[in-house]
Amino acid sequence: MELYLNATSPYARLVRIVLLEKGLMDAVTLKWCDPWADDADLLKANPAGRIPALVTEEGTTLSESMLIAMYLDSLDNVKPTPPVLPTNSLSDVLHLAGLGQNLMDAAFTTVIARKHYGPEIDQSELGQRRARAMQRLLEQLNSELSGNPTAEPIHLGDIAIAVALEYLAFRLPEIRWKEAHPQLAAWHASVTARTSFQQTVFT
């Protein structure tokens, strides 16, 4: 398999973490690229020019990080691993994964909007709406996860939320979510101590 990615995409990082947790890294060739440069190989794999994009052994290209994660979770590998989408708690896991995805989307869209239109875009109606959404999501996550240690094995909801929080700290440090939500910060620290997070730090 081939995975098109870069080192700053939260979506690509989510997929890399799933690969590590599933013991599938040896089955994938990482294809580092710049999606903003209209990389020819990436466009051939995914005409939308977005990462991550996974080319399967059969030559099928999958896009969207959550869909790729679902596919990887379905693969049988030599060393069986716990599912990141456990069927016995699927609705709870998908609920948390959705919160993480929404936070990731709001943060990523804010970063891209600033890149193309300058920081003043934050004062627009859309910019303010994104900011309010991030604050609400952080408050809900703090409420739902505080005092709730991460269960073993880790699941997709944990991964999505932790990656989104890492991305906030990486790209939007002015939000200072750790100071505002120390219990959520403690939960985050317990998740990101895992090897899969340590090996995929944003750079």
- Residues 38-69 have pLDDT tens digits of 999 999 999 999 999 999 999 999 999 999 99
The amino acid at 185: A
Measured between alpha carbons, how far is 140 from 146 in angstroms, rounded to an integer? 10
To 10 degrees, what angle do helices 156-171 and 182-192 make?
Answer: 110
- For 58-116, what is each residue's pLDDT tens digit? 999 999 999 999 999 999 765 688 999 999 999 999 999 999 999 999 999 999 999 99
Return the structure tokens found at 11.
């979506």
